[in-house]
Chain A
Amino acid sequence: MTASVFFGCTFIAFGPAISLFLFTIARDPLRVIFLIAGAFFWLVSLLLSSLVWFIAVQISNKENASVQKGLLIFGVVLSVLLQETFRFGYYKLLKRANEGLMALSQEDAMPISIRQLAYVSGLGFGFMSGAFSVVNILADSLGPGTVGIHGDSQHYFVSSAFMTMAIILLHMFWGVVFFDACEKKRWWAVVIVVLSHLLVSCLSFLNPQYEGSLIPAYVVMCVMGMWAFSSAGGSLRNLKLCLTCRDKDFLLANHRPR
């Protein structure tokens, strides 16, 4: 569908992620490292789940469509569970690493806080997940044709791009909430994260009814966004302060060292 659709969909899918990376991560090498490591952890989880699914498909009856559909659902559920498991694994690894780094370094404060790590790892998960969701589709959008000759919806590319954007941001929010919940030992929050992840992934089975999959996904994203915002220390009051440009007064009034 030519270059305009390719660039449009790329910006839709990766716009927020790229701007987050540029403004908050790129300058700090430590964050970059943890971002890439997080992406790699997601990749390994995908590898394991796709291995299991692949083996299951090979030993199954390939002619039976309902069996294949069932296996696909099983694959998706397994993949979600594995991703969250690896998120937890990454959390544990980061805790240990941070304690080790603290022991080695001379400084009192940790070089990077767990909250920042939560954000960075979530974004890393999101980057890799988004890449795998959409790069294949973007490559085909560069060609001269568009989807539709067999009756599929013409909005295939655009809706895939929007779904990818939602997924990337969701991974970031899930990361923040998840790490916060693990820190405070709030396991119900972890369960909610896993369940919402399952929900969003299974919504994709409603495609090509894009209204059915995109709108609930964005609703979940907004809810998780608000939850992540409050977990990270945000509040409505702070937001109002920023938006009405009264932050300077707030700083002066409180005068706390940073």
Chain B
Amino acid sequence: MASLFGKLIVLLALILQNRGDVFGNAVEQKIYVKLNNTSPCVRLLNSTHQIGCQSSISGDTGVIHVVEVLSDLDWVLMAGPNPPYMVLLQGELFSSDFWFTLSVSVRVLFLSLSLSLSLSLSLLCSGVYSDSYGPQYSHCNRTLWNPLGDGLSYEDFHFPVFMMRDENETSVIKKVSSVLFDSLAVGGWLRHASFHGLENIDSIVEIGQVGLRNGSKLWIHSDPISRKNSSVNEEVILSVCLSVCKTPAAQQSGFSQPLPPASFQRFLKARPIPGVVLTDHQLAFNNRFYESSYDTADNLRVSYPSGLSLEQQLDFITDTARVTERHSLTHSFRETSLYVSSSSSSSSSSSLLLLLLLLLLLLLCCHGFLIQSNNSWFRSLLSQELQSILVDSPLSITLLSPPVRVHPPGPVLANLTGTCDQPHPGPVPEPDKNTGPTKRYLYEYLWVQGEVSENTSRPGSYCVRAAVRLSKAISPAFELKDYRSTEYSTWTESRWKDIRARIFLVASKELEMVTLAVGIAILVVSLLVTYFVSSKADILFTSARETTTAAY
């Protein structure tokens, strides 16, 4: 009997719990409005500093206040009677001074609507140029690359910041917004091993930001310091520039102009390698939204004629892409696309061909990155398991996500620069043995699923051999366990499982106190009454029918 009761209790508990899962907590839904479409700012640390935002250990709560003009700011910072405040910033009118004022105030817990933030100036001014190498170019003495950047990505805030991505949520509540700090580690660190040792690199052509050309001009930058060496200079002019400079509309930037921020600088730090960087800007960036969350198709002026289906758009060459050039992938990729010539003698025609192929690559795959990644071409490149990462929206690549997010550029690059090795998947051939000392593989082999057309059930799959690598952007400082390294980046991110914001009403203090007072009063009164009744129970509960009570 007891075990039966026990089973009934367990069953009841299971049913009730099931009900909770199925229907949700109805009371909680009456109280809280969850902000689902937000991007939080996170805490980043390196060996000496911390940037980004954090909240208190159990979260922060504050009264929402909209700040649209500067006078609202005064109210928040001084006059408002119920600090702390959750500030909602709308519009892009505010300077970094404004942010600084807010950031140091103890009355502010911060939510903000989207602003266009830009990478810190100081980071763009670091690189290969230092006091020992080209001091006249260090600290951006010569050229300010991103004058619109306000450096807020690298500030340290003592409160949480969110960016609201859904206009509906903002308008319904009218007071909520947060800023996404795109504070990923600057630049991925390229593993030297991927390039078989730096001494095997002949020259470098780097394609930087090329999407926003003024009048279809393409600028070629080189490093003036390394070109002072005559052999390097010869190599740059003859080998590299000969092929690249033949590209129509290419123009060299001045000889005394330093290199723009580029991955090439990191290579130069190790060895004076001949190379150039191609960009759409001569001096300052053309892209106002460099490394900002507003770096989108609209702002890059990517537009397709109306009425085109998705597949038609894929084949359409937009104006921006004309003259064999295409939108920059700098902000879509965390690392710029890089073409490295590893052979000792490179013919100019093959270099040009490869360069054009690369540009074609940019043309074709940008639709996938800027408009919609779930298109037929991407689907044909990725295997079944990886296709779940393709979405019906632009695919932004963040290294913070699981690494699977970074996969699409790999197969895309491989398909466009590699050679088709076998018509059908077969055993992986013996890897090429490099004659160099490292004996690493020169090529990677990739199996491509191919188009799955409606006519044939079997996809036309094939194997591609390409010199495309996927490297984890792990700093050498961590591999060397040198956590205080000044040579390599030591940026880390403090991760939390759940970063979210919600909105609710707070009851007035009077109502709360009245409720508590009433509760205590009722408890006291009922205790008194019960005591009275129980002590007089003999009297109270006798009746005229006394004779029958005994048996009762």
Contact = CB atoms under 8 A, between A and B. Distances in A.
Given A4-B512, A15-B519, A19-B523, A234 B507 contact: no
A106 interface: no
B530 A24 contact: yes
A10 interface: yes
Contacts of A198: none
B227 to A, nearest CB: 64
Given A16-B526, A16-B530, A20-B530, A145 B31 contact: yes
A39 to B, nearest CB: 12
Interface in B447-463: none
Nearest to A146: B507
Interface stretch (A186-194, A210-218, A250-258): A250-258
Interface in B411-462: none
B530 A47 contact: no
B531 interface: yes
Given A8-B516, A19-B530, A145-B504, A140 B15 contact: no
B404 interface: no
Interface stretch (A77-85, A86-94, A149-157, A199-207): A149-157
Nearest to B522: A15
Given A113-B552, A233-B549, A148 B523 contact: no
A230 B19 CA distance: 42
Contact of B539 (A47, A157, A161, A238): A238
Contact of A23 (B530, B549, B550): B530
Contacts of A40: 5
Given A149-B504, A242-B536, A23 B516 contact: no
Contact of A140 (B11, B28, B517): B28
A242 B539 contact: yes
B168 to A, nearest CB: 15
Contacts of A157: 515
A20 B11 CA distance: 31
A104 interface: no
A194 to B, nearest CB: 24
Nearest to B539: A247
B519 A9 contact: yes
A67 interface: no
B284 interface: no
Given A47-B8, A149-B505, A156 B552 contact: no
B496 interface: no
B64 to A, nearest CB: 12
B394 to A, nearest CB: 33
Interface string A235-253: 1001101100001001100
Interface string B1-18: 000010011011001100
A247 B533 CA distance: 13
A232 interface: yes
Contact of A149 (B16, B31, B516, B536): B31
B543 interface: yes
B518 A12 contact: yes
B61 interface: yes
Interface string B318-333: 0000000000000000
A44 interface: yes
Contact of B519 (A8, A20, A149, A156): A8
Contacts of A131: none
A7 B521 CA distance: 12
Which interface class (under 10, 10 to 19, 20 to 34, 35 or more) fits B?
35 or more
B370 to A, nearest CB: 37
B308 interface: no
A143 interface: yes
Contact of A250 (B25, B511, B517, B539): B539
Interface in A1-51: 1-2, 4-5, 7-12, 15-16, 18-20, 22-24, 40, 43-44, 46-47, 50-51
Nearest to A153: B30
B538 interface: yes
A10 B446 CA distance: 66
B515 A8 contact: yes
B27 interface: yes
Nearest to A46: B12
B520 interface: yes
Contacts of B32: 143, 145, 149
A7 B293 CA distance: 47
Contacts of B550: 109
Interface in B491-532: 503-507, 511-513, 515-520, 522-523, 525-527, 529-532
B505 A251 contact: no
A8 B552 CA distance: 39
B515 A4 contact: yes
A143 B507 CA distance: 11
Contacts of A47: 8, 11-12, 15
A44 B541 CA distance: 32
A11 B519 contact: yes
A136 B23 CA distance: 14
B193 interface: no
B31 A143 contact: yes
Nearest to B173: A149
Given A43-B12, A145-B31, A146-B504, A242 B540 contact: yes
Given A11-B522, A19-B523, A54-B19, A5 B507 contact: yes
A123 B546 CA distance: 25
Nearest to B515: A8
17 contacts: A8-B512, A11-B520, A11-B522, A12-B518, A16-B522, A47-B15, A54-B19, A136-B27, A140-B28, A143-B32, A144-B506, A145-B504, A156-B30, A157-B515, A234-B543, A238-B542, A247-B536
Listed from nearest, the 4 A-B pairs whose CB atoms lie closest are: A145-B504, A11-B519, A8-B519, A8-B515
Given A2-B512, A146-B507, 15 more contacts: A5-B512, A11-B520, A15-B527, A18-B526, A22-B527, A115-B552, A140-B25, A140-B31, A143-B32, A143-B504, A145-B505, A147-B27, A147-B505, A157-B515, A239-B540
